[in-house]
Amino acid sequence: MSSANANASTGNDLIVRPRKLSYGIRKVKTLDVWPLSIGDQGVLIQRIDEDMRKFFGRETGADGDSVVSNADFAMFGVKLLRENLKEIVRLVTGKEESEVDSILSDMTNKQADALIQIVWEENYADIIKNRKGLLGMIIGNVASAMS
């Protein structure tokens, strides 16, 4: 069996299942957190990219480089998350906007952090790790072919 076949999906690992998130301040509830679709990932990445471009393009020093303090960057990160959290919750839960407002009003910062961690793990972490490995293989093959 070739290594490509050994790594091929059996189909079972492609079945989409939600991850569970417990949240709530006074009464604990459970939320199903679904992976983002490729289209939804694109929408979120575009929004975050636009916000980052605005942030880093706002002030420049004499050399033209961005002038951003650590405190400014930390506040930008918090603001970016707050502005996009409602949309992220809507996309990963399938809830209506009014339901999302209710969820967020009953969610602590730690619980929101756990949600973001789930979104990262389910949608980006493995893909980035796998693509980095793929890039290394391609570079290794190209280097071998050139020598």
147 or 88, which is more confident:
88
- Residue 4 belongs to a domain: no
How many domains does one find in the chain?
A: 1
Instruction: State the Cα–Cα distance between residues 144 and 49, nearest whole angstrom.
Output: 36
Average model confidence (pLDDT) across the chain: 81
Mean pLDDT for the stretch of residues 121-126: 84
Confidence band for 127, pLDDT divided at 50, 70 and 90:
confident
- Residue 141 belongs to a domain: no
Model pLDDT, residue 125: 79
C-alpha dihedral (42, 43, 45, 47), degrees to nearest 10: 160
- Residue 11 belongs to a domain: no
At 128, which amino acid appears?
A: I
- Residue 12 belongs to a domain: no
Structural domain boundaries enclosing 94: 17-135
For residue 12, give every residue at least 6 positions away whose Cβ sits within 8 Å of its Cβ, in sequence order, or none: none
Backbone phi, psi, residue 30, to 5°: -120, 140
Model pLDDT, residue 26: 93
Instruction: State the Cα–Cα distance between residues 79 and 5, nearest whole angstrom.
Output: 45
- Residue 1 belongs to a domain: no
Q: What is the pLDDT of residues 46-104, one digit of tens each?
A: 888 888 888 877 655 555 565 677 788 788 888 888 788 999 999 999 999 999 999 99
> 0.85 exceeded by the pTM?
no
Q: Which long-range contacts (CB under 8 A, 24 or more apart) does 116-119 make?
A: 116/81, 116/85, 116/88, 118/19, 118/21, 118/33, 118/92, 119/33, 119/36, 119/88, 119/92
Model pLDDT, residue 48: 85
Instruction: State the Cα–Cα distance between residues 70 and 77, nearest whole angstrom.
Output: 11
Q: Tell me: pLDDT of 30 over 70.
A: yes
Model pLDDT, residue 1: 43
Q: Which of 100, 88, 58 is nearest to 75 (CA)?
A: 58
The fraction of the chain above a pLDDT of 70, given in percent, is 74
Instruction: State the Cα–Cα distance between residues 9 and 37, nearest whole angstrom.
Output: 19
